[in-house]
Structure 1
């Protein structure tokens, strides 16, 4: 029974994985302002001029190809000099990945100040790792961990058309975040707007273009990063 359970779980984790869309990913690879390093633990997007001094460890949503977030996050490196580490969760599920934040931060050892964040269930996992980071950023996600007394800077970005991490669910979990957490809803964004992997079952219909979504997301996270100070 144990063998069947483990085997079934592994098989399920590999079925129905949302793949990165080819065209947006090709654009990332062709971007001269971003250097890509592909490691077994994660994908590192860094400014080509090496000017980065702050990093974002980003944890993908459940059963979503990590490469699907490269197009959405690339401008953080190109415009805001943020090194982004997109993790490669075990079995495509962050909940099955017990590795600490340092596993991913060590992929960019020159960075001393780290934001941890994630999309959907990846954000739930990011909340669990937040005590080892300088700040937390949630992308269409919310915490199941009580961080209300943590003192952490928190940015929570949601979408008005999200059919999975709905505005109501995010509001219901608001009490688990610090009182001064910044919550921003992007008008027209769906759950899948936070990556480039196509439509997602149960999601709403986005009314925002990919270009505008990336622009707003980049501005929000870039401004947030400027304000983050090292944790005590």
Structure 2
């Protein structure tokens, strides 16, 4: 009798654990789909109408490439948490115009930390490119730091590393905003020791956290004083020069 009661109690505990796990997993999935920040329609329409680039909704992600197909450099870019990947197409299209193939990933459950795929899952979008950088915005940048050992360079948008890369010779470009209320200038400075000594850090005056994508205002962020057009131009100039230098080193 006592054994039967013990077995029933054990079954009850096990079923209770299963229910808790199922409810927990379901809750995470539901939470990941609620409140995703959508790409703004007008900037995205400009990307789709840009005759200088091609836009491909591919298996590996959103692929922006020069229309003439002449590309020697690639950038795998990881979105911030719960941000529509398409929101980064407008700010990255300038790179494609300059000859860089950009692959904007679609993180599992809209959160980079849940996406366990390696860099090659995205670089397979163009196997002919030998030089690949990895980058990301906010939480996407933190994940990019974890993938950086397999890349030729690292690019951060309003982000910083929790992975120690200070002893590496990895080329790094960190773009931040003076008005960023989430990855604040102080947080960027506090994590500086995780990057190589020669990492290039550029603070864009007037830029907020959400200035690095076209998805509208974000809770907890600062107020930007830079226009979207100027932000796009500044990012294209800084990142384009960085990748040009990377290409020169690869030759």
Task: Answer yes or no: is 1:59 the counterpart of 2:78.
Answer: yes
Count of residues in Structure 1 that have an aligned counterpart in Structure 2: 230
- Contact kept in structure 1, 2:181 and 2:209, CA below 8 Å: yes
CA distance in 1, matches of 2:130, 2:60: 19
Q: Deviations over 1:101-138 (max 9, x none)?
A: 00000011121100100000000000000000000000
**Which one of 214, 221, 240 corresponds to residue 222 of structure 1?**
240
Q: 2:197 aligns with which of 179, 182, 200?
A: 179
1:103 counterpart (121, 124, 141): 121
Distance 1:117 1:60 in 2: 9
Larger Rg belongs to:
2
Between Structure 1 and Structure 2, the one with more helix by share is 2
Residue by residue over 1:4-61, the C-alpha shift from the partner in whole angstroms, topping out at 9 and shown as x without a partner, is 0100000000000000000000000000001011123300000001111001000000
User: 1:16 is paired with a residue of what secondary structure?
Assistant: coil
Partner of 2:58: 39
TM-score by length of 2: 0.90
Instruction: Give the Cα–Cα distance (whole angstroms) in 1 for the partners of residues 59 and 149 of structure 2.
Output: 24
Shift >4 Å, 4+ stretches: none
1:71-93 CA distance string (max 9 Å, x none): 11101111x21100000000000
Please say if residues 60 and 124 of structure 2, whose CA atoms lie closer than 8 Å, have aligned partners that are also in contact.
Answer: no
Give the secondary-structure state (helix, strand or coil) at the position aligned to 2:193: helix
Q: Separation in 2 of the partners of 1:195 and 1:22?
A: 12
Q: 1:93 is matched with which residue: 111, 126, 131?
A: 111
User: SS at the partner of 2:96?
Assistant: helix
Q: 2-side partners of 1:116 and 1:126: how far apart?
A: 6
Which residue matches 2:16? none
Please say if 1:12 is aligned against 2:31: yes
**1:230 to partner: Cα distance:** 4.3
Correspondent of 1:118 among 136, 161, 173? 136
What is the TM-score when the length of structure 1 is the normalising length?
Answer: 0.98
2:220 is matched with 202
Unmatched 5+ residue regions in structure 1? none
What secondary structure does 2:89 align onto? helix
